[in-house]
């Protein structure tokens, strides 16, 4: 499943980041339970809109930005230039070391993945999550069927809902934000 964003998509994302960064992306990063030393995975990092705020909360931690798009990863590198505690992964299917992350998050990514691919991706992500680790996502509320599939896969793979809320995101509409914990 190769995907590269159009120039227009990149431009519009840059505009949203510039004008709505704090209210959209920082508000999500603020909900991540970070103390500063964690190893964190941004799955589907795009241009690094959430990563920009997350990495600032990790002075002694490490952030891995993963995306299937070379153009998005190049844009992400530009967004996060100056930070040294980051590595970048270009891959379609996450082949990650077992129990290597304290926190894994996805921001408006999972709803774009087919249900059959989610059945492979979610268990791989959970396998990479440490015990007591947090899996966080924010997805559009109007994707009801996909949200139900995501929640089912998380629970099937022994993650437990810690908290959840519905929020109105400027430009993007209503979204579901959920934090799950790996027992």
Residue 2 — very low, low, confident or very high, per pLDDT cuts 50/70/90? low
- Per residue in 138-174, pLDDT tens? 999 999 999 999 999 999 999 999 999 999 987 788 9
- Per residue in 18-55, pLDDT tens? 877 778 899 999 999 999 999 999 999 999 999 999 99
CA distance 64 to 51: 9
What is the torsional sign of CA 118, 126, 31, 161?
positive
Using the predicted structure, report yes or no on whether residue 123 has a pLDDT greater than 70: yes
What is the enclosing helix (H) or strand (E) of 16? helix 7-20
What are the structural domains of the chain?
7-182 (3.40.50.150)
> For residues 181 and 134, is the Cβ–Cβ distance under 8 A?
yes
pLDDT, average across residues 61-83: 95
As beta bridge partners, residue 65 has 42, 88
Measured CA to CA in angstroms, residue 136 lies from 10, 40, 180 at distances of 24, 11, 6
Using the predicted structure, report yes or no on whether residue 1 has a pLDDT greater than 70: no
At residue 14, the pLDDT reads 79
- Per residue in 101-117, pLDDT tens? 999 999 999 999 999 99
Using the predicted structure, report yes or no on whether residue 137 has a pLDDT greater than 90: yes
Percent share of the chain, pLDDT over 90: 79
pTM: 0.93
CA distance 96 to 125: 8
> Nearest CA to 73 among 86, 89, 60, 85?
89
How many Cβ atoms sit within 10 Å of the Cβ of residue 87?
9
């Amino acid at each position: 499943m190769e995907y590269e964003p159009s120039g227009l998509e990149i431009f519009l994302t840059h505009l949203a980041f510039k004008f709505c960064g704090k209210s959209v992306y920082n508000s999500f990063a603020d909900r991540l339970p970070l103390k500063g030393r964690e190893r964190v995975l941004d799955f589907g990092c795009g241009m690094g809109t959430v990563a920009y705020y997350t990495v600032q909360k990790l002075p002694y931690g490490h952030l891995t930005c993963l995306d299937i798009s070379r153009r998005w990863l190049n844009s992400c590198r530009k967004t996060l230039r100056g930070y040294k505690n980051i590595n970048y992964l270009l891959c379609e299917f996450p082949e990650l070391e077992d129990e290597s992350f304290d926190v894994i998050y996805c921001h408006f990514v999972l709803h774009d993945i087919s249900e059959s691919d989610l059945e492979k991706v979610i268990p791989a992500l959970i396998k990479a999550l440490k015990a007591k680790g947090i899996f966080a996502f924010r997805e559009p509320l109007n994707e009801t069927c996909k949200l139900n599939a995501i929640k089912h896969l998380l629970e099937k793979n022994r993650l437990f809902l810690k908290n959840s809320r519905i929020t109105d995101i400027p430009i993007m509409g209503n979204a579901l934000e959920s934090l799950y914990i790996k027992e």
